[in-house]
Structure 1
Amino acid sequence: MTNENVVRREAVVSGTPERAFAVFTERFDAIKPREHNLLGAPIVETVLEPHAGGRIVDRAEDGSECAWARILDYDPPSRIVFTWDIGPTWQLEQDPDHASEVEIRFVADGPDRTRVELEHRHLDRHGPGWESVRDGVADEQGWPVYLARYAELVEAA
């Protein structure tokens, strides 16, 4: 569901919230598509630093790095919240006041299932052209591809 400045998506996966949270945070490198790249060289890994104050960083073949998110809240196994520091021109946003937020909640949905609720909010903070960020993350090649890759990893684990 998409409304003005919020994009929401969800997936239901097998296992407990603890397992679902662990797969998301520990295997984020396998979730993020390599072609989602702001660097000038191919990405070799994406690292999610598992703590408040951490970052999500892409590292390229040539040694360059792109820290495109800051971890605001890391609360296993309930939720993780991070900034989206990528602006309407799909370049790194340097001003933290112009970043949107992504919250992912892991909610028990029965004895051995977890509902993963993703909310990308405050998209209008990106300023003029913010709608392109909303449309990009809501597109099938945005959050839906991340959640599909994530669900495949959970089911394979």
Structure 2
Amino acid sequence: MSERVMIAPVQKQVQVRAPIDHAFAVFTSGLNRWWPHTHGVGGKPISKVLIEPRLGGRWLEIAEDGTQTVVATITLWEPPQRFVMLWQIDAQWKPDAAMRSEVDVRFFAEDAETTRVELVHHKFETMGEAAGASMRRDVDGGWPGLLQRFVAEAERRSSSS
């Protein structure tokens, strides 16, 4: 009997100078404003990136030709505190509905104008040991820059509202 190797989760945290409702909305409904359109998995130039804001909703890439690619599926939706999604991307950064790593994003109001966002990307072992280790390395290096783009967008929009 073989034992499943556990792969350590990727854990990231950022502070946002914005109220919790605003931070959650920018992360989810405002995804197209901060997610780089060069970070696509569908293989075609991206026109739009969006999250359908509901349980069972999808993270979609919409290509310039209208093709939709599912990146993730929402498995828990608790605005403005938390959402969880199955990340349906393989280690070669291709869409794969069988993939089951998980991204858990939590929002904590530090005060009325500051939100702490904690992201945990885990369950890489569901991909297999080698593929999971490869994906973990990639997302560990990728999430910090992506989260900084989110913070910049949330703070820019918050100060102008």
Instruction: Give runs of aligned pairs for residues 32-51 of structure 1, distance below 5 A.
Output: 32-51=35-54
TM-score normalized by the length of structure 2: 0.88
1:91 counterpart letter in structure 2: K
TM-score normalized by the length of structure 1: 0.90
CA contact (8 A) 2:101 2:127 kept: yes
Q: Percent same amino acid at aligned positions?
A: 35
How far 1:111 moved relative to its partner?
Answer: 3.5
Aligned position for 1:143: 143
Determine the C-alpha separation between the residues in 2 that align with 1:136 and 1:43: 21
Unaligned runs of 5+ in 2: 1-5
Count residues in correspondence: 151
CA contact (8 A) 2:42 2:95 kept: no
**Largest Rg, 1 or 2:** 2
Deviations 1:93-134 (A, max 9, x none): 221xx3111011000113321100000011111114211100
Question: Of residues 62, 67, 72 in structure 2, which corresponds to 1:69?
Answer: 72
Aligned position for 2:125: 124
Displacement over 4 Å in runs of 4+ = none
Deviations 1:42-61 (A, max 9, x none): 10001100000010000111
CA contact (8 A) 1:93 1:99 kept: no
CA contact (8 A) 1:56 1:69 kept: yes
CA contact (8 A) 1:87 1:99 kept: no
- Residue 27, structure 1, aligned to residue 20, structure 2: no
Determine the C-alpha separation between the residues in 2 that align with 1:61 and 1:19: 28
Determine the C-alpha separation between the residues in 1 that align with 2:18 and 2:35: 21
Unaligned runs of 5+ in 1: none
